[in-house]
Each structure stands twice: as C-alpha cells, then as structure tokens.
Amino acid sequence: MERENRHIVNDHAPVISISGLFKSFGELPVLQGIDLNLYEGENIAILGKSGSGKSVLIKMIVGLLLPDKGLVTVLGQNVAALNRKALDRLRLHIGFSFQNSALYDSMNVFQNLAFPLTMNVKHLNRLQVTRAVEEALEAVGLRDKIREMPSDLSGGQRKRIGIARTLILKPKIMLYDEPTSGLDPVTSADIIELINLVQSQYHTSSLIITHDLTCAKNTANRIAMLSKGKFSKIGSFDELFVTDDDQLKAFFNYNFLQ
C-alpha cells in the first residue's frame, strides 16, 4: 500500500500558500512563523504533538480563525481579506474533515449529506439530491447506512460519513484533521485507503494532520514536522526518516513502539 514518494514539482501557483504565519491565544503563542506551499495534486502530512497547533493551522486555512500576522492564500485568494460571500464561495472548494467528525447529530446520514448540498446548490430536485448523496456514500463504502443516525455509527464509520459529507460538494482541496486518531489499526488502514481513493477519484490536493506515522507515510508526498510553532522539517518520508535530529528520532521511535 506504500505510495511512491514522488515530489510534485510544479510551476503552477500553489493551491494553498502560507507565509510568515503567527497566531497566539492571549499569552499562549501557538504558531510562530509558518511557511508552506501545497501544490495541485499533492498530499502533505503535518505531524506534530498534541497541542502543537495543527488544528489551529488548518482552521486558519478555511477562515475559522484569523491569523495575527502573515498570509494564507487559498486558490489565489487571501483568506483573511475576504468578505463573507467570497469566503463562502472559496469554502465550497475546500473539504474539511473534523477530528471528531462533527456530524449533525439531530440529522440522519442522508440529511447530514444533503444539508450542505441543498443549502448551497439551489433548484435541485429530490432525485438529484438522493443521487448525489448515494454517490458520495458509495465513494466511502457506506451506502447501506443512509437512514442511520450518527449516534448509531462506529468511530470509523462516522469519519467516513464526515468525509462523504465534504465530498458531496466536490472539493478541490481536502483538509483532514487527524483522520485516523482513535481508530484501531484495521480501521485506520481503511481510512488511509479512503484518503488515497478520494485523491485519485476527486483529484484533490490534501493536507493531512496526524500523529500517526503510518498514515503520514502511506498518504503523503511530503511530510512537515510541526514543533514549537514552526515546521522544523519538511520533506519526503525517506528524507525525514534518515535523520540525525534527536527529536525526530524520538518521535519516530515513539510511533513505532506503539
């Protein structure tokens, strides 16, 4: 299942470009000078300890949080400068898979998927909506769960439904927040497979936040290590893995001993 470690070198402008990004909450500095480019068709995994600011980083990409300093450009647009309408238009191109899936627990699976679609695409008839929902569920392999409530699903199934809910708007960019956290190894492997499938089927570029090295290795073209508010290393798995950085070694060992 291992991916070829091809670097995507691209003369196109990056789909996501982050430069000189700072963010703190009150006295607590979280991000202190982040630079990153994500190119079309590329998957980058962001590794980092819990609490290192990984979620904060991707929340700034979709404009859920505003940077204190620095620039986040997505598909050529400066996220912090957009008004609500323009930001919403941009968000339609970004799929965001939340750490805890964030399924609407008052709605069943069908309604969860139909909701973003019917809210954003006007004049769809019932049949078109049903077809789109079934197609997205098909992609994640959970078509039979269409009438279930989120509370009746397992963790792995909820993650899949969460991903399906973002696929329904056919995003160009996918942001995964810890897609395999809290899942057993077999289910993790399924999610990893799904991430790769989404990339090939929907032609997305992705940022995958994780502290699961297997996930990073099998999904990403490049891996970025976040520590102390900065990317301490960026490179392919092989480049990072052969290292004499003690901190990285400790991190890898920790992951492999698990």
Ligand X SMILES: Nc1ncnc2c1ncn2[C@@H]1O[C@H](COP(=O)(O)OP(=O)(O)O)[C@@H](O)[C@H]1O
The smaller minimum CB distance to other proteins, of residues 88 and 238, is found at 88
CA 17 vs CA 12, 21, 72, 74, 248: distances in Å: 12, 10, 6, 6, 25
Q: Least distance (Å) from ligand X to the CB of residue 209?
A: 7
Residues lying near ligand X in the complex (CB under 6 A): 25, 30, 48, 50-56
- 68 lies in the binding site for other proteins (CB under 8 A): yes
Alpha helices in 14-108 (DSSP H): 54-61, 84-91
Q: Where does residue 41 fall: left (phi above 0), alpha (psi -120 to 50 degrees), or beta otherwise?
A: left
Kindly identify the residues of this chain, within the stretch 41-70, that bind Mg ion according to CB under 5 A: 55
Q: Which residues contact 251 (CB under 8 A, 6 or more apart)?
A: 47, 225
Q: Where does residue 228 fall: left (phi above 0), alpha (psi -120 to 50 degrees), or beta otherwise?
A: left
Any idea how long the chain is? 258
Kindly identify the residues of this chain, within the stretch 14-33, that bind other proteins according to CB under 8 A: 26
The smaller minimum CB distance to ligand X, of residues 52 and 218, is found at 52
Q: Where does residue 217 fall: left (phi above 0), alpha (psi -120 to 50 degrees), or beta otherwise?
A: alpha
- 84 lies in the binding site for other proteins (CB under 8 A): yes
The smaller minimum CB distance to other proteins, of residues 88 and 138, is found at 88
Residue from 2, 9, 12, 83 in contact with other proteins (CB under 8 A): 83
191 binds, among Mg ion, other proteins, ligand X, none (CB under 5 to 8 A by kind): none
Q: Residue 60 carries which side chain, given as an amino acid letter? A: M
Choose the stretch contacting other proteins; rule: CB under 8 A; options: 29-37, 71-79, 102-110, 221-229.
102-110
Q: Which residues bind other proteins (CB under 8 A)?
A: 26, 59, 62, 64, 66, 68, 83-84, 88-89, 91-92, 94, 96, 98-100, 102-106, 115-116, 119-120, 165-166, 169
